[in-house]
Structure 1
Amino acid sequence: MNPTPSSPVPSEVATTTQQDTVYQTLRQWITVGRFLPGERLKIRNVAADLGVGQMPVRAALQRLAAEGALINVPNAGVTLPVLSVPEFDDLLQMRMLLEGEAAERGSLRLQSEQLAHMQALSERMAKALADLNRDEYLAANEDFHVLLYRASGSPLLFHLIDNLWLKAGPISNQLFDTPDAAACLNDAHEDVMQALEKRDSAAVRRAIERDIFVAGQFLRRSATARRPNKPIKPD
């Protein structure tokens, strides 16, 4: 998996390796919702957070912009995209389609130790929700889904899902903006575990689709409420 967000990137690593590591770290930060929709990323601030020079950060940000994860703003750097409601709805439907397929396939291939790990992650998510700890919840949630989807045995399917997460990450940070979200966000994960115990792959698929749909309804309110970005002034 990608480097953890809290880990600084060693400055003595060779340039190519360092650029790749910075890219992977920033990609992970976007995926888990460290940055908000419309937020501007300043190269010097990101470089300071990572403990590296500005050159590998600049290269990583441009690479992410080329992938559509960031938007270039003339004379002002890069920002996180703000999804329109139609864009969000399309993203949600594609996630349900692909993640449901990966979950159904993965459920047939999980080993006992993987099932135990998923159960521990479900319990970790429940505690994070009780504590209103969004960072802990989002991190455990990602690990839960990654474990299940990778078990599908399809690198291509997981790659497609990972790209969708890159687009969904920034808005996912707003799950906790709705007070009643915490009460139900882990329900589907518990349903997944019950279905896995029964080896009911169709039920696993339905639970994952429901998980994405329910979270999506809370997030859709944020997408509906957001306004287009104001012009960004250069430094």
Structure 2
Amino acid sequence: MPTAPAPTTTQQDDTYATLRQWVTVGRFQPGERLKIRTVAAALGVGEMPVRAALQRLAAEGALVNVPNAGVAVPRLSLPEFDDLLQMRMLLEGEAAERGAARLDAAGVKALAALCQRMAKTLAKGDAEGYLAANEDFHVMLYKAAGSPMLFELIDTLWLKAGPISNQLFDTPEASAVLNDAHEDLLKALARRDSAGVRRAVEKDIFVAGQFLRQRIKASSANAR
């Protein structure tokens, strides 16, 4: 039987990048076991680059190794989630304020278009579409800050927050308010109010966080 060719470095890196992005946007659920064969089939690649990517993500803390069961998406405890929420508000608020001060007219227009896209996906109940547009919105704003180090720290936090983010859509009340902070942000940008942009981002994270806290509390209670 012929041996499958070893994956190239580019294929390994591409596989890792795709899986990392899937974790970040909440494609996998907390507690979900990731089977190498299933993930490889979804990506259309061999099992070797998937195995390497999953282990790399586990080393970063985005996934956890489960004895005799491969890797799984970690579940956050309430204290862990609260710590994550505070760090996100601190770092993303800083990036938002810096980004708002440097964003040009084309950037503001692009953010407005993404805000409209988020509104449409929420109206359709399209969780995946909303999370993808939401990520694009925040990436554009934060990268405008011009601090690769700050963005790298934020990106690490998103890896930990991503898996639970999909659970926002298990609460019907959340969809009615999720885009409010983005609209506040655009109004602050129109006023050239960088501090107002920071407050809008902090509001965005905090409001979503309260819905997710309830999910974690309910999950913890059910596990007892």
Common topology (TM > 0.5): yes
3-state SS of 2:102 partner: coil
Question: Shift in Å at residue 224 of structure 1?
Answer: 1.1
> Which residue is equivalent to 1:26?
19
Cα distance change, pair 102–147 in 1 and its aligned pair in 2 (3 A): same
Taking structure 2 as the reference length, the TM-score comes to 0.95
Taking structure 1 as the reference length, the TM-score comes to 0.91
* 1:44 pairs with 2:37: yes
3-state SS of 1:226 partner: helix
Q: Which amino acid aligns with 2:210?
A: Q
Q: CA RMSD in A?
A: 1.7
Question: Shift in Å at residue 88 of structure 1?
Answer: 0.2
Q: Which amino acid aligns with 1:53?
A: G
> Which residue is equivalent to 1:134?
127
Question: Shift in Å at residue 12 of structure 1?
Answer: 9.2
Q: What stretches of structure 1 move > 3 A for 4+ residues in a row?
A: 11-14, 227-230
1:50 and 1:137 map into 2 onto residues whose CA distance is 22
2:143 and 2:118 map into 1 onto residues whose CA distance is 20
Identity of aligned residues (%): 72
1:1-235 aligned within 5 A: 15-227=8-220
Q: Which runs of 5+ in 1 are unaligned?
A: 1-10, 231-235
- 2:7–2:49 CA contact under 8 A, matched in 1: no
2:6 and 2:128 map into 1 onto residues whose CA distance is 28
2:6 and 2:117 map into 1 onto residues whose CA distance is 34
Aligned length: 220
1:75 and 1:115 map into 2 onto residues whose CA distance is 49
Q: Which runs of 5+ in 2 are unaligned?
A: none
Cα distance change, pair 96–214 in 1 and its aligned pair in 2 (3 A): same
2:78 and 2:146 map into 1 onto residues whose CA distance is 33
Cα distance change, pair 42–198 in 1 and its aligned pair in 2 (3 A): same
Q: Which has the higher helix share?
A: 2
Question: Shift in Å at residue 227 of structure 1?
Answer: 3.9
